[in-house]
Structures are given as structure tokens and as C-alpha cells.
Amino acid sequence: MSGHSKWATIKRKKGALDAKRGKIFTKLIKEITVAARMGGGNPDGNPRLRKAVLDARGQAMPQDTIKRAIQRGTGELEGANYEEVTYEGTGPGGTLFIAEALTDNKNRTVAEIRKIFEKSNGAMGAGGSAQWAFDRKGVITLAKEAATEDQLMEIAVGAGADDYTDQGEEWQITCPIPSLDPVGKALEEAKIAVKSSGPAFVPKNKKQVAERDAELCLQLFDALDDHDDIQNVYADFDVSDEELARIAG
């Protein structure tokens, strides 16, 4: 859903990412349900739902599963009532973390997220304690083989994207939030499959961490990302390829 793709690549090589597929589907289903509840069940008239459905298709979610999630959101099928909550905190080495959640029990979730921070030498903070270090941007991810650099320049930047970066096995496109839908539509019309898209917190400056701090930052990031209620995790740390190889090996 988000985060440090270099680390995700190493985990995939170890076979760990396959076990997360069910969790990814759960998070996407929650987002589709909430988007349909807030803006209606027609993706053409609901940009948030449209993005959620595109993300689900990018993860090869069956159409019947998408349809049922929309019906739970519109009330045609019974389902849980999720609330949106954002948690912020600090990690090792003065790093900053933001975690966006959809939960049907805020008291349970906040207690569990606080424990996750504490187990990795971090601390959960008040609202605004981390967001000051991030810009709110639109972020779109594509598989590396889905598009060439020339296509990204012509199609994504031409439709309003600010930039694109090589994230190892993915392209990451950033744009102003109002440009998310136009850029997404341009990619769709060009038959370029989108893996994920939506508003995101992009760190203004990244903090390089190493050794034990790097291990703990990755541990904290993974623990937050693994939590069933957490939809997206953002952090302002960076780890060198050499450190990643050491930690993975």
C-alpha cells in the first residue's frame, strides 16, 4: 500500500510478501467500503471510489469481491462501520511516522498502535507531531514493466504530474492532489496499469539511518503496516542498499 519499496523487494525475495496478499485485500476492501459509503457507489461520480477500485484491480482482486465491498458501503449488504483515524509518532534516531487507519473500534486500535511504537523504541505523539515534516501529495505507483520513462514523461507529466522516480521494481509518480484523477485517467486511457494511487504524505527531507536504528525503523514500519486496521504508513527515514542487504541477509 505504501512505504519503502527497496525493503519490500528484499522481503519479497525472502517469500514474506506473498503471505501479505490477504492483508492487502482486506485493506483495499475497507477503503472501497468507506469510499462508497461517503460518496456513493458509482465510481464515475466518486473519485475516491474510482481510485480504490483501480487499486484493487491493480492487485488482481476479483470483480465480485469489489462489487460486494461497494454494496457494503452503500448499505445494500450488511457490514462494519469504519472510521478514519491518523496516528503520528517518533521512531528511533528522531525519525517520524504517520499511519492512516480505518477502524471499527478506535479504543482498541489506539492501544495497539501505541504498543507497536513502544516495542520499537518509538513513541506515539499528538496530532501534528509528525505531519509538519511531510508534504501532502498525490502518489501513483506502477510496476516497472508497465511503462517506459518516455511514456511517463509524455503521459503522466503531460497530464499534470510533478515528477516520477525509480523505486527499484516500481515507478512512483508524484503530483498535486487535484491532478490525481486526470493523471490516473491518462494512464488508464494509455492502457498503463496502476498498482496504487491516492493522497499520501511525502517526507520533505529523509533521515539516513544505519545499524540498530535502521533495524528498529524497519521493524516499526513493518509492524504498523502489518496491523489489520492500518491502511498506509509513511516515514521520513532512508536506509542504504548496503544496510538493507545486511539486515536481510
Are 113 and 144 members of one domain?
no
Domain final position from 74, 103, 120: 74
Query: How much is the pLDDT for 126?
Result: 93
Separation between Cα atoms, residue 98 and residue 225, nearest integer Å: 11
pLDDT in tens, 93-117: 999 999 999 999 999 999 999 999 9
Are 22 and 106 members of one domain?
no
pLDDT in tens, 80-92: 889 999 999 999 9
Domain final position from 202, 219, 237: 202
Query: How much is the pLDDT for 12?
Result: 47
Quick check: 9 pLDDT over 70?
Answer: no
Return the CATH number at 146.
Answer: 3.30.70.980
Q: What is the DSSP string of 181-241?
A: HHHHHHHHHTTPPPSEEEEEEEESSPEE--HHHHHHHHHHHHHHHHSTTEEEEEE-EE--H
Average pLDDT across the chain, whole number: 90
Are 106 and 212 members of one domain?
yes
Does a structural domain hold residue 215? yes
Residue 223 has, within 13 A of its CA and on its CB side, a CA count of 19
Query: How much is the pLDDT for 233?
Result: 95
Find the mean pLDDT for residues 136-151.
94
Please count the helices (runs of H) and the strands (runs of E) in the chain: 9, 10
Does a structural domain hold residue 10? no
Q: How many domains does one find in the chain?
A: 3
pLDDT in tens, 18-75: 566 788 899 999 999 999 999 999 999 998 898 899 889 888 899 999 999 999 999 9
Are 91 and 187 members of one domain?
no
DSSP tag of 148:
-
Structural domain boundaries enclosing 33: 15-74
Are 236 and 210 members of one domain?
yes
Angle at 103 between CA 64 and CA 38, to 5 degrees: 60
C-alpha cell at 93: 534516531
Note the pTM of the prediction, 2 decimals: 0.86
